Amino acid sequence: MSRIYNVLFLCTGNSARSVIGEVLLNHWGKGRFHAYSAGSRPKGEVHPLTLELLHAMKLPTAGLRSKGWDEFARSDAPHLDFVFTVCDQAAAETCPVWPGQPITAHWGVPDPAAAEGTHEKKMAAFRDAFHRLDTRIKLFLALPLEKLDRLTLQHEARRIGGTNTPKDAAS
């Protein structure tokens, strides 16, 4: 049996982007990955539009919750192989020292929870975040993790964080 990799998606509020990353990697990783999400200052609840979007995409939402990153810095926390920050605030903050020194990368995505306007405009921001993370996660999953050394994995994870979606390339 192949190894299962533990991945933590970090953001400030842990209500949208990091939760979407968690759900997508658990879905596309097909048991090869166990994804988690957390925030530096968790909102305490998953954003309702995150849940609406995940339901619309027919992805599971059971058990999702907004939680602090301190849960993953404790000695009894799962060993983390990768930690991806998905918002600029979390990337700029001083992160805890993660046991086992996981590979880290910044995969910044605009905050859909900050979108204003109609419900449709807000949902468009959530769909954009979803598609950006979906693209990056699929690129990450295509890496031959078992064949790459740590330095190459670090480089590739960071390179993926700079990956533009087709929408980005057009703008």
| Average pLDDT for 121-136 | 97
> How far from 148 is each of 8, 142, 144, 145, CA to CA, in Å?
20, 12, 7, 5
The whole-chain average pLDDT of the chain stands at 89
Of 11, 64, 86, 115, the active-site residue reads 11
Phi, psi of 28 (to 5 degrees): -75, -25
More confident: 54 or 170: 54
Of 57, 73, 95, 148, the active-site residue reads 95
The answer to whether 11 is a known catalytic residue is yes
pLDDT at position 138, please?
97
CATH of the domain at 78: 3.40.50.2300
Tens of pLDDT, residues 77-128: 899 999 999 986 544 555 666 667 899 999 999 999 999 999 999 999 999 9
Is 82 strand, coil or helix? strand
Q: Which domain holds residue 13?
A: 5-170
Number of domains forming the structure of the chain: 1
Q: Please state whether the predicted TM-score (pTM) of the whole model is above 0.75.
A: yes
